[in-house]
Amino acid sequence: MTNLAIFASGAGSNAEKIIEHFRGNSHVRVALILCNKPTAGVLKIAENHGIKSILIEKEDFFSPNSCVSALKDHQIDFIVLAGFLWKIPDALVNAYRGKIVNIHPALLPNYGGRGMYGMRVHEAVIHAGETESGITIHYVDEHYDEGDIIFQAKCPVEPGDTPEMLAQKVHVLEHRHFPEVIENLLRS
Ligand code: GAR
């Protein structure tokens, strides 16, 4: 059995899709939700699905051993970042190298890096007059949004699209592809 941990800071719609995708799977189990925001919707989603969640404080997350020992205690094999907004500490990258993936709501290497998350990304894409955007699923390394790209999918940005409209198109792509890409990675 492969035990997944999902790290999330927000509403948790991607986390929920992943939980639903792997429900009843005999090889993969969402074992843990790790969250850094007490008010995040993802905590309620974890509770509704009977999945253990940890609300982590900044000083614990960025302590020298990071949360590596907590993850090992829960026998976590693979980590999925689904709207998690803190940078992953080097200790954690090293302990789980090649076993942490992130989803980014744009076509990296554009519109990534520190401070580029959520609606800020969509605002920047529209402000720049791009005609397409999309999603990027990539491995996590020591640098923000720079790890090897695993998968991308595109959507059009139409004239008159607002950041909210673009966010919705991007969410559709994320929900459609993220769980399946994770499943394929774990199979290979
Ligand atoms: C998603 O669109 C994800 O790509 C983005 O946060 C959103 C979380 O939505 N992640 C980033 O911006 C990371 N830089 P959700 O909480 O509904 O899954």
Q: pLDDT class for 65, splitting at 50, 70, 90?
A: confident
Quick one: which of 105, 111, 114 has its CA closest to 166?
105
Assign a CATH topology to domain 103-139+152-188.
Rossmann fold (3.40.50)
Note the pTM of the prediction, 2 decimals.
Answer: 0.97
Q: N- to C-terminal Cα distance for the chain? A: 14
78 alpha carbon to ligand 1 midpoint, in Å? 19
Tens-digit pLDDT profile for residues 147-187: 999 999 999 999 999 999 999 999 999 999 999 999 999 99
Instruction: Count the Cβ atoms, other than its own, within 10 Å of residue 158.
Output: 10
Catalytic residue among 104, 122, 138, 177: 104
The domain ranges of the chain are 1-97, 103-139+152-188
Q: Closest ligand 1 atom to the C-alpha of 171? A: 2
pLDDT at 188: 76
* Phi-psi domain of 160 (left: phi exceeds 0; alpha: psi -120 through 50; beta: other): left
Rounded distance, CA 23 to CA 26, Å? Answer: 9
Quick one: which of 77, 106, 75, 85 has its CA closest to 170?
106
CATH class of 1-97: alpha beta
Our answer to whether residue 104 is catalytic in this structure is yes
